[in-house]
Structure 1
Amino acid sequence: MKYNKLYLLLPVIGASVALLAWTVKPKPKMPAAPKRPNIVVILADDMGFSDLGCYGGEINTPNINYPAQNGIRFTNFYNASRCCPTRASLLTGLYNHQAGIGKMSDEEDAPGYPGHLTDNAVTLAEVLKTAGYHTAMSGKWHVKHAGAA
């Protein structure tokens, strides 16, 4: 009785497949990285708290209401009564004098009034960059006098 050569190799092939199956294990599934949220900060000058619909105003503002209703809203934010100091606080998380914008962006010879963000004031964008975010800004910067260094 003649045996086919392939028939003789079946035990070897079977043992090889079994050995490969035993040594080559599938990689365990890594947990998916948590999805980081998009962050949108909107600062509007010269508006009242209730001018927007999302805060109970009478003006219909659906494009502002949607992200406000599906995200996080400031409901107890410190307002410095002027645009530059308020913007400096929002951008840095510091009181406006700590950030370097005592009242407006004009330089004065007093602590807390250099008229620009100081070196110890780290912006929200700089912090987010360390976490891998890319940031963009639209509108006026207004935390540095145009003539300041």
Structure 2
Amino acid sequence: MGPSDHLLRTLAAVPPGIRVVDVACGPGRHLDPLARLGFDVWGSAEDAGDVEAARRRLAETLGEDESARRVTRGAPDALGYPAAWADWMVLAGIADLDAALTEAARVLKPGAWVWVETDAADGLWEAADSAGLVIAEAPAEEDGVTHAIFRRPGDVG
């Protein structure tokens, strides 16, 4: 499966070079395309096989050593990245959005964004609100999944 058209359209207006973290990146569906567009990409996956697949895919663009450094093993609710570190986060296909959005709010810089793709949109708005995120683009269904964009409040530095 290729990258989400909705994500690519969303990030088309974003300057290259910003740090994008793909949470639960799976085999790297978004990582390599975003790296090719000039974004500073990072990813995590719980499954060791997904980590290896994502590293192989990203190595085509960044090389083996850099892809090994940038794709790590981690759960969506415990990423291991510093607080206020990322400009954008990608959350696609995550079962526990409550915990993932809370962790995203911790890792995002003030004023940063999180793009969500889910097939279980019930409670999405409430989960984002509980995490301290504000709606930037209301959830909307496209191609059988729901997309939404949230923002961490605060001054952009």
Q: TM-score range by the shorter chain?
A: under 0.3
Give the TM-score normalised by structure 2: 0.27
Q: Which has the higher contact order (CA 8 A, sep 6+)?
A: 2
Larger Rg: 1
Give the strand-richer structure, 1 or 2. Answer: 2
